[in-house]
Structure 1
Amino acid sequence: MSLRAVRDDLARWAGRGDPIAVATLIAVRRSAPLPPGARFAISGAGELSGSISSGCVEGDLHERLSALLGGDAPATVTYGITDEMAAGVGLSCGGEIDVLLDLHDPGDPVWQRLWQLHEAGAPGVLLTGIGAPTRSRQLLLETDRSMGTLGSAEFDRVARSRVAEWLGRSDAHVVELVHGDPDSAVFVESFVPPPRLVIVGATPIGHALCAMAHRTGFEVVVIDPREAFLRPERFPAAARLDARWPDEAMATLDLDPRTSVVVLTHDEKLDEPALEAALTSRCGYVGLLGGRRTQRKRREALLARGLDEAVCDRIHGPVGLEIGARSPEQIAVSILAQLIALARAP
């Protein structure tokens, strides 16, 4: 489970003064159930939160983290294929993982600032030392400031010089700040705002898509001037509901490359201004519901509005993957699958 997934438990334990130990997945070789950045935490009261491997190694990690609470030093442990380990502890999927074991200090200014960034939806990069001299030391980088230290002025300087690179990605990985020097190895976690999905059309498909997209990590905005359809109880997972016309509502949003726009109204009065606003922005994806006839009519209207062919070619239409979807829920699955597939494409 990611840091966000265990955050509430960490805060609750810290609030009552419990000591906390955390296992962080820092590297995966071949296959593993969860990606780097997953966490498994225990409190001094014996409560558990999160997961590293969906159950394969948590029993052993629990013992190691308990020992850490008892005074053992932070460490890095590697788990491999179960059959190769005498104790039978490992990964049945055939992968290999490295896990950092450390104590969590909720009073550390680095963590307090990281939580502030999370609350504000602002980006940041957390570096945790894993080389012997820097193990457990942390440096938090923002665009124009830093907090903490890796214990080396040179390592801190190199890290600060790469902040723009790391803010441009949303994964977690291990790097050597000085090539060929294992003592400079750090675990880099890039925390960026979640990808945003703008749904134009408070339709049954929009309702299903909003709920599914929220569950998979999107921040969802739903736009529809038909207020009778845009009721909060129908879209409890939406971060924002906007009852203005699509072009007006979208003008207030920063439609950046991490924003996807899906137009579902199937009404030319709403489709056309929504498509024009999306296509003339920097958004990364534009999808349009409707068959070939609808696609052709909307394209002709957009060309008449002054958009050129290349711009109109950005439209994914009919929206979604070809999976034979028929119901609103199935169509929502096809749309979400297309968004995920495109985001994962090399």
Structure 2
Amino acid sequence: MRDILPELREWHTAGTPFALATVVAVHGSAPRAPGAVMAVSADGAVLGSVSGGCVESDVFEVAGEVLASGRPQLRSYGISDDEALGVGLTCGGSIEVLVRACVPAADRDRLREVMDLVAAHEPVAVATLLPRATPGGTSDAAPGEAGAPAATLVVLEDRTAGSLGAEGLDAAVTDDARGLLAQGVTGVQRYGAHGQRRMQEVSVFVQTYAPPPRMLVFGAIDHAAATARIGSFLGYRVTVCDARPAFATRERFPAADEVVRAWPHTYLESTTVDARTVICVLTHDPKFDVPLMIAALRTPAAYIGVMGSRRTHLDRTARLREAGVGEAELARLASPVGLDLGGRTPQETAVSIAAEIIQHRWGGTGRPLGELAGAIHHAAPDGPDGPDGS
């Protein structure tokens, strides 16, 4: 939802009713992950996407029905029938899409709070009770009834708001939502009607809005400016760090969320790094590189990319071995950084770095898709997600 959040907040402030379509489940290959959203206003304006164009026209029609009736619908879309001009996916997988009405006057304060928290990068999870999937996508109870589909529970680290209709269900979902939020995972959980574990009477979609993952770029060079721009585009919160005051300036790095003047290893040892963080070392100087990489290898960072020629890489790894770094730790370094795209400019190098980060995250091969067979879209890996369309 982050990518369309400014417009949604404008609709909410203006009191514009809209329907929100959310991908709640993906089976097999699909263009968008759970949490991807498309919004349709009462006057027909559209924001976002749930499939990259395959089923949006049908979702648009369903959104109109939902706005008219106030009743949520859960729609399933599988492989399209090209000969019959059927609506569906062309990639071989299937998705489930929840379409619900968002009428600001109905729950103005709670909806505004969630959007404000997401905009401020504060952790919040929204749990929604799903209707049973039927061919028509209709729900079994009207909104407002106890346990009604599309009832929501907002979960923060220290409190909750709303209810799914049963105290036991709220308690179980709250515990699970906080766990999913800590991992940055969005998905469907199943329970008994009163929150019993190992039962599948009701399905609850838990959408998490964890703070954006971080990209730490070390070395205030022209390649860093291009890398910061593409990192921001991919949804990372970007920090550029360099010890040289003349180079580490806001004017040189307008795309970065912050520019830090500090010795790289000192800053890295003092800042928060988690399993979603990516580190790009572009400094080219052993007095910066070696202590910085020793510090980086002590973190749980998802990716550590280091710029330099193959000769520089060999010299660097020799220095790291002398400093006591083991082979398993050295294997974590992506060096020379990036995929072999043949690029030469800072912008092309930044694309190469971003491509390797994406490949690392999703487990891709880095080979041309035309040379491969099977699913194009890789399944989400277990564990923390990186940036997405949520």
Residue number among 154, 170, 188 corresponding to 2:206 in the alignment:
188
Q: Paired residues, what number?
A: 344
Which residue identity is paired with 1:247?
A: H
Which residue does 1:222 correspond to in 2?
240
Residue 59 of structure 1 is aligned with which of 44, 57, 72? 57
Measured against aligned partners, the alpha-carbon deviations of 1:248-282 in whole angstroms (never above 9, x if no partner) come to 33243112222222111111232233223323334
Query: Following the alignment from structure 1 to structure 2, what is the Cα–Cα distance between the partners of residues 94 and 284?
Result: 30
- Residue 319 of structure 2, aligned match among 278, 286, 301: 301
Alignment of 1:118-197 (within 5 A): 118-131=118-131, 132=140, 133-178=147-192, 181-197=199-215
Question: CA, structure 1 residues 306+80, in 2 after alignment: closer, same or farther (shift >3 Å)?
Answer: closer
Q: Which amino acid aligns with 1:124?
A: V
1:107-160 Cα deviation digits (max 9, x unpaired):
444433322332332222221110344411111223332222111112112112
AA in 2 matched with 1:113: E
For 1:123, the aligned partner's letter is: P
Q: Could you tell me how far apart the structure 1 residues matched to 2:205 and 2:84 are?
A: 29
Tell me, yes or no, if the aligned pair for 2:180 and 2:186 is still in contact at 8 Å: no
Residue in structure 1 matched with residue 220 of structure 2 by the alignment = 202
- SS of 1:233's equivalent in the other structure is coil
SS in structure 2 at match of 1:83: coil
Please say if residues 173 and 188 of structure 1, whose CA atoms lie closer than 8 Å, have aligned partners that are also in contact: yes
> How far apart are 1:194 and its partner, in Å?
1.6
Q: Structure 2 vs 1, CA of residues 116 and 267 (structure 1 numbering), >3 Å: closer, same or farther? A: same
Structure 2 residue ranges without an equivalent (≥5)? 132-139, 141-146, 364-380, 382-390
TM-aligned CA distance change 1:90 to 1:312, over 3 Å: closer
* Aligned residue in 2 for 1:88: 86
- Look up the SS of the partner of 2:168 in the other structure: helix
Identical-pair percentage: 36
1:31 aligns to what?
Answer: 29
Which structure's relative contact order is higher, taking Cα pairs within 8 Å and 6+ residues apart?
Answer: 2
1:70 is paired with a residue of what secondary structure? Answer: helix
Please name the residue that 1:344 is paired with: 362
1:46-69 CA-to-partner distances (Å, cap 9, x unmatched) read: 322112223333223222222322
Instruction: Give the whole-Å Cα distance in 1 for the aligned partners of 2:208 and 2:45.
Output: 28
Amino acid at match of 2:39: A
Structure 1 range deviating more: 322-331 or 269-278: 322-331
- Paired amino acid for 1:291: S
SS across alignment from 2:153: strand
RMSD: 2.6
Instruction: Using the TM superposition, name which of 304-313 and 290-299 deviates more.
Output: 304-313
Paired with 1:275 and 1:11, the residues of 2 have a C-alpha distance of 42
TM-score normalised by the chain length of structure 1: 0.88
Question: How far 1:103 sits from its partner (Å)?
Answer: 1.1
> What is the aligned partner in structure 2 of residue 48 from structure 1?
46
Matching residue's letter, 1:136: A
Letter in 2 for 1:137: A
Change in CA separation of 1:85 and 1:78 when aligned onto 2, cut-off 3 Å: farther
Q: Are 1:224 and 1:246, in contact at CA under 8 Å, matched by a contact in 2?
A: yes
| CA shift in 2, pair 1:5/1:292, >3 Å | closer
- Seen in structure 2, the aligned counterparts of structure 1 residues 10 and 296 have a Cα distance that, compared at 3 Å, is same
Secondary structure of 2:183's partner?
coil
* Structure 1 counterpart of 2:181, one-letter code: L
- Quick one: distance in 1 between partners of 2:119 and 2:161? 18
What are the superposed Cα offsets for residues 133-190 of structure 1, whole Å, 9 maximum, x if unpaired? 4411111223332222111112112112323431243343222124675542011212
Instruction: Report the 3-state secondary structure (helix = DSSP H, G, I; strand = E; otherwise coil) of the residue aligned with 1:234.
Output: coil
Gaps of 5+ in 1: none
Q: Deviations over 1:192-242 (max 9, x none)?
A: 122211111122221221111111111111112233333433322111111
